[in-house]
């Protein structure tokens, strides 16, 4: 058996808000409860387990490889929410898309302060 990432815990202030946000923005199925957590299942079998925690919560970056069509849908969802996004994880190039490596990359904040990124090429 090869070694693969199975899941990671995403600490947040409000697991319902954060898990629903991610599933909605990325066009994924609704989160499922598992014990005290809410699970967002990704297409490659990896799960993000959202769990409430008391502040301070250290912001973490999470990057998602998505298809070209899905990338356009994610951009449309962010625009519909009037949510800022950036071409870079340092948040210097607002409302731009990064074409590094021949794909499209964009970064945005989730409700809990984590930095999310979507890219069409790894």
What CATH number matches the domain at 7-119, 3.40.50.10420, 3.90.1150.10, 3.10.180.10, 3.40.50.300?
Answer: 3.10.180.10
Q: Which residue has the tokens 């199975």?
A: 6
Q: Is the per-residue pLDDT at 104 higher than 90?
A: yes
Q: What is the mean pLDDT of residues 77-83?
A: 96
Q: What is the DSSP string of 61-90?
A: EEEEE--HHHHHHHHHHHHHTT---BSSTT
- pTM, full prediction: 0.94
Give the C-alpha separation, 52 to 54, whole Å: 7
Q: Is the per-residue pLDDT at 1 higher than 80?
A: no
Q: Which residue has the tokens 């387990």?
A: 49
Confidence tier at 56 by pLDDT (50, 70, 90): very high
Residue 61: C-alpha distances to residues 1, 18, 38, 104 (Å): 28, 14, 19, 17
Among 43, 40, 46, which Cα is nearest to 110's? 40
């Amino acid at each position: 058996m090869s070694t693969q990432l199975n899941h990671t815990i995403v600490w947040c202030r409000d697991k319902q808000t954060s898990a629903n946000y991610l599933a909605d923005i990325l066009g994924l199925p609704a989160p499922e409860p598992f014990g005290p957590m809410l699970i967002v299942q990704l297409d490659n079998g990896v799960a993000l387990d959202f769990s409430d925690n008391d502040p301070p919560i250290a912001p973490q970056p999470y990057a998602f490889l998505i298809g070209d069509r899905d990338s356009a849908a994610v951009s449309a969802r962010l625009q519909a929410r009037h949510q800022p996004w950036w071409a870079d994880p340092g948040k210097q190039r607002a409302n731009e898309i990064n074409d590094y490596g021949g794909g499209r990359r964009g970064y945005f904040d989730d409700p809990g302060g984590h930095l999310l990124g979507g890219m069409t090429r790894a």
